[in-house]
């Protein structure tokens, strides 16, 4: 299984094979990393993926789901910055 790597809005997304995992479980053999940090995910009965930290959305493509998570996380960070004391509002 080959690794896939993409850049998205200044973040790196990588889907790579885990070492020493049985071939009988190909989905368990893949690891998702965003900015070199592992991101836990699971697969729903219909085959779509959900991230443990972002269960609000699911998708049949893990890389597309990672992009949605990055958008969500960046939006939440923006809101947090706007609400910080001393932000002028």
Separation CA 51–CA 63 (nearest Å): 11
Separation CA 51–CA 62 (nearest Å): 9
For residues 72-85, give the mean pLDDT: 88
Whole-number pLDDT of residue 71: 95
Whole-number pLDDT of residue 22: 46
Q: Taking the domains of the chain in order of start, what are their residue ranges?
A: 4-83
Dihedral through CA 27, CA 62, CA 35, CA 69, nearest 10? -140
pLDDT, tens only, 14-72: 999 876 554 555 556 789 999 999 999 999 999 999 999 988 899 999 999 999 999 99
pTM, 2 dp: 0.78
Report the CATH number of the 4-83 domain: 3.30.1880.10
């Amino acid at each position: 299984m080959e690794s896939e790597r993409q850049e998205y809005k200044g973040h790196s997304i990588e889907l790579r094979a885990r070492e020493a995992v049985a071939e009988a479980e190909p989905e368990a053999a893949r690891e998702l990393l965003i900015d070199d940090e592992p991101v836990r995910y699971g697969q729903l009965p219909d085959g779509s993926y959900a991230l443990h930290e972002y269960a609000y959305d699911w998708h049949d493509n893990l890389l597309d789901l990672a992009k949605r998570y990055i958008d969500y996380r960046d939006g939440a960070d923006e809101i947090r910055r706007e609400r910080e004391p001393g932000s002028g509002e």
